[in-house]
Amino acid sequence: MYENEKLEEEIYEIIDNKYDFEEITQLHTSYEYYYYLSYLRENLFVWYPFKDNASLLEIGGGYGALTRLFCRKVDEVVSIEDSYKKADMISKRCHADNLEVVVNDFSEIEQTPKKFDYIIVSDLFEYAREFYESSNPFKDYLTYLKGFLKDDGVILLAISNRFGLKYFAGFKEEHVNEYFTGVDDFPKKSVRTFTKGELENIIESAEFSDYKFFYPYPDHVFPEVINTDKFINKISYERKPTIVKARANFFRENKVNQSLASEDIAQYFANSFLVEIRNDTSSRQSDNYDYVKINNERKQRYRTITYIYSDNNDTRVVKYPLNEFSKQHLLRMHEGSKNSFGKIKFLENTFDDYYFSYPYIEHESFEKTLIKTIINHDKDGFFELLEEYFDVLFYGSFKKDDYCTPEFLDIFGVKSDKCFRCHDITNLDVIFSNLFIINDEFVSIDYEWLFDFSVPLEYIFYRVIHHHHVSNPLFRDFITLDEIFEHFDLDTDNFDLFKEWEKHFLNYAISHMKKPKTRITAKKSVNKLDNVDAINKGYQAFKKENEILNKRVEEQEKLINTYKYSTSWKITKPLRKIGQIMKNK
């Protein structure tokens, strides 16, 4: 999708020399490097319940971004690539005993005559016209792949939605690099993606009668959430995507996505689809998965997956650790939830030595109750609810100026002797979406950030309000942080201190990753669609000029990397650390 010969050589060199991928993406903060090297690509399938002793056929392994995950998940992996260089990269990147990499055309895979439990087709199906000769290549290629499935096998198809909301909002269609191509259909004989209805027709015409749509958000490339038809209009995706290419801003997707969900049509405008296409109609474990959230950007010890899981009439929220380290994080949640925080109770939960779970609450969240007052422009009602929240948060608190213990400073970084209200223990994540009012009591769910020491409540109140202010345009358009703090007679001069504490907390919890910097940025408000041609032309001119600048930057990056990975640089690393320590003193 984003290939060029020069980039392929660079990626090959990185894989061949076994460089650290996370370190590389710190140096090359471009979308393409993230696309090929970031472990976050695995989010698309890391949650999926592959069965035991399974075999898997990957059609188009690319540079192995997903292949390594498959080798961990199933017993046998065969990856098909049409390029010897890519096949070599997959082998070197994965170096797994259960992997076979085969170089062959995607339309001639009979050299692998066995049948598989799973066939993966990710970012490839849209090119079927180019490699499968047929009057109806998309339908016929699915039929062709069916011949390599076991009787109860599954095809997992990941592809962009040509009606994805992001393409209306100002993202270029990735395959042709133009605005609104795809929305306005594709040229004949070219790459093409599909709407939900079009994809359903293709699947059914290939004589598959059983399939399930999942909706990765913000898209299937770097998903943070996997939604389903059951919850896509109940739990709308409201965050801004953080790993993006250059774009224009026609409108705010999160606000429009809320509107689409309220009309029960968000599924048709999801940016991507992951479709589980089944060879028979037997029940699957994935039938029980209604919603998935992957917290994989965190540091290793905090990485978890949260499922909303249904079994008959019982629906529960289940949290799994993504590694052995994060199992301790879930255990601390369980142990720390035995006390109240102010007047906020923790929802009863269970921990069974590996996963943490609690009942799914059907009640309306406190966030949704608040948003109703915003939609109705009812500021009095808004403050009435917020005062209830404030009262239960600060209930039983005491003034304290010696909260900056070593444990506090290890996480929040900046020392202060200002006097604030505190509790003996802390639930940092009492955001409104995590709270419910049940039998006139505030109940907290998803309390991952519990600490057994005091953290100022004014800061917690600030981070909650700031979170909703940033993430929800309705909230942001309705009221300011200053207005809320002044209503509660809280000092806005503390904002700078709170921002520092928040920055250090995020540094404590989140993996040290720089997000891609888009060197070409076209952030404009466009009022008329007939401006799009002008934007495309202007972009192409800008792109030529940018290529010259990028070439200069690349030359400098190569020079830096020459030093960065040289033997002398590595040998002198301890000396540089000593020098930095002496400088800090």
The packing angle between helices 379-394 and 366-375, to 10°, is 150
- Name the architecture of domain 5-289: 3-Layer(aba) Sandwich (3.40)
Q: Is residue 298 pLDDT above 60, yes or no?
A: yes
Residue 35 confidence (pLDDT): 82
Q: Is residue 466 pLDDT above 80, yes or no?
A: yes
For residue 233, what are its two tokens? 């209009």
pLDDT digits (tens, 9 = 90+) for 481-501: 999 999 999 999 999 999 999
pLDDT digits (tens, 9 = 90+) for 258-268: 788 888 999 99
With a pLDDT cut of 90, the percent of the chain lying above it is 48
Mean pLDDT of the chain: 84
Selection from 128-137, 290-299, 414-423 with the highest mean pLDDT: 414-423
- In this structure, the number of other CB atoms found within 10 A of the CB of residue 436 comes to 21
Q: Is residue 426 pLDDT above 50, yes or no?
A: yes
pLDDT band at 109 (very low <50, low <70, confident <90, very high): confident
- Residue that is written with structure tokens 């032309």 in the block: 537
Residue 521 confidence (pLDDT): 36
Residue 214 and residue 158 in contact, taking contact as beta carbons nearer than 8 Å: no
Q: Is residue 332 pLDDT above 80, yes or no?
A: yes
- Residue that is written with structure tokens 């209306």 in the block: 168
Residue 139 and residue 176 in contact, taking contact as beta carbons nearer than 8 Å: no
pLDDT digits (tens, 9 = 90+) for 7-42: 788 888 888 777 777 777 777 767 787 888 888 899
Selection from 166-170, 333-337, 386-390 with the highest mean pLDDT: 386-390
- Residue that is written with structure tokens 């082998």 in the block: 91
Residue 528 confidence (pLDDT): 43
Q: What distance in Å separates the CA atoms of residue 102 and residue 59, rounded to the nearest whole number?
A: 10
Q: What distance in Å separates the CA atoms of residue 221 and residue 223, rounded to the nearest whole number?
A: 6
pLDDT digits (tens, 9 = 90+) for 495-529: 999 999 999 999 999 876 555 544 333 334 444 44
For residue 305, what are its two tokens? 């997956």
Helix (H) or strand (E) holding 101: strand 99-103
Selection from 146-155, 179-188, 516-525 with the highest mean pLDDT: 146-155
pLDDT band at 463 (very low <50, low <70, confident <90, very high): very high
Least confident window among 16-30, 90-104, 224-238, 530-544: 530-544
Give the sign of the dihedral formed by CA 287, CA 291, CA 296, CA 300: negative
Burial label for 203, CB within 10 Å (0-12, 13-18, 19+), is buried
Q: What distance in Å separates the CA atoms of residue 451 and residue 509, rounded to the nearest whole number?
A: 13
Rg of the chain taking only CA atoms, in angstroms: 26
Q: Which of 478, 432, 433, 428 is nearest to 453 (CA)?
A: 428
Residue 520 confidence (pLDDT): 35
pLDDT band at 583 (very low <50, low <70, confident <90, very high): very low
Torsions phi, psi for 176 (to 5 deg): -115, -5
Q: Is residue 473 pLDDT above 70, yes or no?
A: yes
Q: What distance in Å separates the CA atoms of residue 579 and residue 285, rounded to the nearest whole number?
A: 55
Selection from 74-78, 89-93, 192-196, 550-554 with the highest mean pLDDT: 74-78
Q: How big is the chain, counted in residues?
A: 585
Beta bridge partners of 316: 309, 359
- Residue that is written with structure tokens 């209830």 in the block: 388
E strand map for 243-396: 272-278, 289-295, 304-311, 314-321, 345-346, 350-351, 356-359
HEC secondary structure over 366-385: HHHHHHHHHHCCCHHHHHHH
Tell me the average pLDDT across 382-400.
96
Q: Is residue 565 pLDDT above 70, yes or no?
A: no
What residue ranges do the domains of the chain occupy?
5-289, 366-509, 529-584
Residue 2 confidence (pLDDT): 53
Residue 567 confidence (pLDDT): 58
pLDDT band at 564 (very low <50, low <70, confident <90, very high): low
Residue 100 confidence (pLDDT): 92
Q: Is residue 394 pLDDT above 90, yes or no?
A: yes
pLDDT band at 144 (very low <50, low <70, confident <90, very high): very high
Tell me the average pLDDT across 37-54.
92
Residue 557 and residue 33 in contact, taking contact as beta carbons nearer than 8 Å: no
pLDDT band at 550 (very low <50, low <70, confident <90, very high): low
pLDDT digits (tens, 9 = 90+) for 219-251: 999 999 999 999 998 887 766 666 667 777 778
